[in-house]
Amino acid sequence: MATIALPTTSGETVPFTFGEPRAFAARANRPFNRVAFSASHVVADSRAQNDPWLEPALDWDATMRFRHRLWDLGLGVAEAMDTAQRGMGLDWATSQELIRRTLEAAKTVPGARVASGAGTDHLALTPDLTLDDVIAAYEEQVGFVEGLGGQVILMASRALAACARGPDDYIKVYDRILGQVSEPVIIHWLGEMFDPALEGYWGRGDHLAAMDVCLDVLAAHADKVDGIKVSLLDKDKEIAMRRRLPDGVRMYTGDDFNYAELIDGDEFGYSDALLGIFDPIAPAASAALDALAGDDQKAFHEILAPTVPLSRHIFRAPTRFYKTGVVFMAWLNGHQDHFVMVGGQQSARSLMHLVELVRLADTAGLIQDPELAANRLQHLLAVHGVTH
């Protein structure tokens, strides 16, 4: 097995030998008994002549190859969301092209599922922003996705959070948009740990009080809501909300800390999945969901258990920088040929954070080619001045 000298916080290096990767299947064996989306990252074009902080450029071929990999594993693709750096480097114009290309690619894969983010991120957050501006922005993006025949993920809106004065303003906006959609949507409640600009969403500073407002919206439009993705990193809040959902409305867990327990469920129900962590752990997620579909809960938890420390590390505070770990994993595993991100966000995590990520990914059996990973990691260490 490959061995590499990894740095420590004391300034020394210690040898680290990669373990054997787990032998996960490259394709799903059967349909899952949970709906499972992976929120997918994008691959930057490292050779584009652009200003990376201002102008996104994507490697479309590599980006689409990764989506085909997820479909092969039986996972749906949640497109143009925060994992794809939406609102943190990826603009609406590039998001439109991403959504268009993904929906076209999905047509070539039997059973491939895609849901695409529609929000208000093309709005400038000016002091004179109004609710009508927010509604018009949502209408534009929802209309684009639905015009391509896609399912909408109704993303949380920074613009709405900035101009709303209370719960009634949220209700007004969501009533207006949900009253117009042609097919049931997935609503995304993204917590402030993922995006500080969304603090106080639904017009309440307390999550449980905000939940009441959100549930009122869901109850009023249950026929237009496929489900809600809750990203609060709090399993108790998710379970409490799950038990109060209207009939037919799914809970899509967005809890990258407690996903195994939430997907398995309890005597009162379970959560489906729409998770950013399903991007870097896709083979393990597929294998675990296959086990669950075969009524093998023991294998389900045995597969996912070692991925949870990895996920908690990738999504540690400041949580919004989790995308760096996701792309780092894709590079280590050979799914792209560089560790460069839209907006230069490969620099959002420290070298020591990435070193610990390597250890945890290895423990989970998710380093698919240790020789390749060691070689790439050696180059990264050299760039950071670690040469021993």
Give the 3-state secondary structure of 136-193: HHHHHHHHHHHHCCCEEEECCCHHHHHHCCCHHHHHHHHHHHHCCCCCCEEEEEECCC
Rounded CA-CA distance 326/171 in Å is 34
Rounded CA-CA distance 186/155 in Å is 8
What's the pLDDT score for residue 387?
82
Q: Which stretches of the chain are DSSP H helices?
A: 60-72, 92-106, 131-147, 158-163, 167-178, 207-220, 235-242, 259-264, 282-293, 297-304, 307-314, 322-332, 351-363, 370-383
Q: Give bridge partners of residue 117 from the DSSP assignment.
A: 153
| CATH number of the domain where residue 337 is located | 3.20.20.70
Burial of 10 (0-12, 13-18, 19+ CB in 10 A): exposed
> Who's near 51: CB < 8 A, 6+ residues apart?
none
- Please give the residue range of the domain that contains residue 337: 3-383
299: left (phi over 0), alpha (psi -120 to 50) or beta: alpha
Backbone angles phi, psi at 126, to 5 degrees: -90, 160
What are 201's two structure tokens? 């969403």
At residue 295, the 3 state secondary structure works out as coil
What's the pLDDT score for residue 336?
98
Assess if residue 388 is contained within a domain.
no
Q: Give bridge partners of residue 152 from the DSSP assignment.
A: 116
Contact in structure between 106 and 77 (CB atoms under 8 Å)? yes
Assess if residue 284 is contained within a domain.
yes
Q: How far is CA 217 from CA 73, 159, 210, 251, 347, in A?
A: 34, 19, 11, 15, 39
Strands 151-154 and 185-190: parallel
Assess if residue 274 is contained within a domain.
yes
Tally of domains within the chain? 1
Q: How far is CA 237 from CA 66, 208, 219, in A?
A: 32, 7, 18
Assess if residue 133 is contained within a domain.
yes
Burial of 95 (0-12, 13-18, 19+ CB in 10 A): buried
Mean pLDDT by 10 residues, the chain (388 residues): 92 94 93 98 96 94 98 98 96 98 98 98 95 98 98 98 98 98 98 96 97 98 98 97 98 97 97 98 98 97 98 97 98 98 96 98 97 97 89
Per-residue H/E/C for 350-384? CHHHHHHHHHHHHHCCCCCCHHHHHHHHHHHHHHC
pTM over 0.95? The answer is yes
Rounded CA-CA distance 68/74 in Å is 10
At residue 348, the 3 state secondary structure works out as coil
- Tokens 């210690």 locate to 14
What's the pLDDT score for residue 57?
97
Rounded CA-CA distance 189/252 in Å is 10
Assess if residue 235 is contained within a domain.
yes
